[in-house]
Amino acid sequence: MKKIVLATACFLLVMLCNVQSQQKTITDEGRLFSINIPSNWMSTSSKNVWVTVYVFNDSMSTDQLMMISSKNGKNLKDAYKANKKGQAGLKNFKLIEEGDSQINGEPCKWMVYTFNGKDGTAVKGKQCTLVKSGKGFILQYILLETKFDAGKEAFEKVITTLKLI
């Protein structure tokens, strides 16, 4: 019986190590946040004086998770309102649903929406807005509308790992 328990414990430890090794942590240079992404995802960033944009995506897909951080964060209500207004300029933008939530204990406002890409393809996305210590954060993932329901779980798992520092 002891051998079975020991073997089971070893198996669970190996599985836990495999799960942990399949992720990598991305931390921005200003130490504003960290986020865990699957190890096969790529990440890149671009910044200017006011805004830093991070893009994370599976190397085998054009679907992406984008994070925008700004030094000049308003309160959550005003930041969300400004982000919603910005999205409304997309071609054939349609707000599907919106609400309040939390990501790792941080309050956020979110919206799910559809629009048409430059080539006319139907696209669906979700955007989450957060504000902490005067800094604004937008997380959004965008997929082809036909792939949204099947692909959102992977992005939602990544979003739950966000930690604002």
Assign residue 106 the CATH number of its domain. Answer: 3.40.1000.10
Measured CA to CA, the distance from residue 20 to residue 30 in angstroms comes to 25
**What's the predicted TM-score (pTM) here?**
0.78
pLDDT averaged over every residue in the chain: 81
How many domains, the chain?
Answer: 1
Contact 128, 138 (CB under 8 A): yes
55, pLDDT greater than 90: no
* Residue-level pLDDT at 12: 36
Is residue 134 domain-resident? yes
Is residue 76 domain-resident? yes
Q: What is the pLDDT of residues 56-85, one digit of tens each?
A: 877 666 677 888 888 767 799 999 998 899
* Residue-level pLDDT at 14: 39
Confidence of residue 88 (pLDDT cuts 50, 70, 90): confident
Q: What is the pLDDT of residues 114-146, one digit of tens each?
A: 999 889 999 999 999 999 888 889 999 999 999
Which structural domain range is residue 58 located in? 25-164
Contact 120, 128 (CB under 8 A): no
Is residue 57 domain-resident? yes
The percent of residues in the chain predicted with pLDDT above 90, rounded, is 41
What lies within 8 Å, CB to CB, of 16 at 6+ separation is none
Is residue 8 domain-resident? no
Torsion of CA 23, 99, 111, 105, to 10 degrees: -30
Is residue 7 domain-resident? no
